[in-house]
Amino acid sequence: MSVDIVGTWDVSLSDGFYRIEFEHGTTTGKRVISINGKEVLRRDWLFKLVGKETFPVGSTDTKATIHIEAVTGFSYEYTLEINGKSLKTFLDNRSKISKTWVLKLDDADYRIVLEKDTMDVWCNGQKMETMGEFTENGTETHFAVGNRECCIKATTSGRKRNGIVHSLLVDGIRIEEAIE
């Protein structure tokens, strides 16, 4: 039995990192979608080889759609949309509305994400309990990771273009932002 994986996409969301794989059997019409190696959708014996499949991704049920289009004869093109936007547009917007830090604390790996529009903080896929406070130069959002005190400071850059600068401090030490 051959596996017909025709598309693989990596999607970074607040609650984690997802690898989406799409199998398309062009002789059987089979369609299989897997996320991080786990099958989430399967359709066998579809007569129509083109079309689209929509499915949820992650704990926030982000809407993803794979479009299947015929290019020429028996070749097909596969594109992924997230929340109605092309993957590239979605990821470009995401980098504007969120900040991500990846760090190691007490021999464990952590991925902390700030959603700037809602000020929600996620750590390893869990939405964190936070406490916000206004300070002289901006805001501070406090939360704990294990027994560590964490704080995301939002301060003005003093420049209109850059606007607000968000920095993560763990036990008072500044952590560099991750490039995902």
Let me know if residue 65 belongs to a domain. Answer: yes
* 56-70, 81-95, 119-133, 156-170: least confident range: 156-170
* Kind plus residue range of the DSSP H or E element containing 173: strand 173-175
Query: How many structural domains comprise the chain?
Result: 2
Show the domain range for 151. 97-175
Among 54, 83, 112, the domain-final residue is: 83
Indicate whether 79 and 102 sit together in one domain: no
Residue labelled with tokens 């992924």:
80
Let me know if residue 17 belongs to a domain. Answer: yes
120-177 per-position pLDDT tens digit: 999 999 999 999 999 988 899 999 998 899 999 999 877 776 678 899 999 999 998 8
Let me know if residue 74 belongs to a domain. Answer: yes
Report the candidate in 86, 94, 101 with the shortest Cα–Cα distance to residue 179.
101
* Kind plus residue range of the DSSP H or E element containing 94: helix 87-97
Indicate whether 76 and 105 sit together in one domain: no
Report the candidate in 28, 64, 67, 72 with the shortest Cα–Cα distance to residue 50.
67
For residue 2, the model assigns a pLDDT of 55
Indicate whether 14 and 76 sit together in one domain: yes
Q: What's the mean per-residue pLDDT of the chain?
A: 91
Indicate whether 104 and 159 sit together in one domain: yes
The two tokens of residue 81 are: 């949309």
pLDDT at 1 over 50: no
